[in-house]
Amino acid sequence: MEYDVEKREIEVCKELSNLDRFALDFVEIVRKHTDYVIISGYVSILLGRSRVTEDIDMFIPKISSDVFFNMYGELEEKGFWCLNTDTNEKAFDYLKEGYAIRFAKKGESIPNFEVKFPKDELDENVFNDFVTVILSKGKIKISCLERNIAFKKYFLGSDKDIEDAHHLEKIFRGKIDYDKLNKVKELINRRKENEREKNFFETRQE
């Protein structure tokens, strides 16, 4: 596995799993219509961690309904279905309301892609701070390693997430920018504090 920090590219030489092929098929369609970045658990799996997952998390920018409907239509044509609803209008409404929507191969529910809009500036920054993973059959854009590690450690924080973060730190020892990681950590802590304050005021108003 070769990581060119300057080019922001990771070349991975491995036999593709069924999950990798599923990801490449989905990404090939999405990228025709809009930008995207894959985040969270599948990142560590793609980069060598041996564990299973039922879903792959993806951010797409806040696109128009027309763009989304075109993407939704091609996904259906290429053998995907939306687990949340059978109409593109309702799926788009879910996204606008801040919910994730899921796509899987027709006739299946696992694995699936969990697609969502960014909810704030911290999420939106992922589109300017990504790494391209180069595989034998295509490319996949993931959020940068520092962002993945920070979110796993300081936002999600389950045992599985901590192990994902440690895997990335081990594999890419010497190439992680910890100043950058700590800046993301500060932004995560600020978000958590804002959410606590929001919940506090909402509770008092009830």
For the domain that residue 179 is a member of, what is the CATH number? 3.30.460.40
CB-CB contact of 154 with 97 (8 Å): no
Domain that holds residue 61: 2-205
Phi and psi torsions of 58, nearest 5°: -140, 135
DSSP-assigned beta bridge partners for residue 101: 115
How many domains in the chain? Answer: 1
Q: Please state whether 172 falls in left (phi above 0), alpha (psi between -120 and 50) or beta.
A: alpha
Read off the pLDDT of each residue in 62-77 and give the average, rounded to a whole number.
Answer: 98
- Split at pLDDT 50, 70, 90, the class of 195 is confident
CA atoms within 13 A on the CB side of 99: 11
> pLDDT tens digits for 146-184?
999 999 999 999 999 999 999 999 999 999 999 999 999
Q: How far is Cα 88 from Cα 82, in angstroms, rounded to an integer?
A: 9
Dihedral angle over CA of 124, 128, 130, 135, nearest 10: 110
pTM of the model as a whole? 0.91
HSE-CB at 51 with a 13 A cutoff on CA atoms is: 16
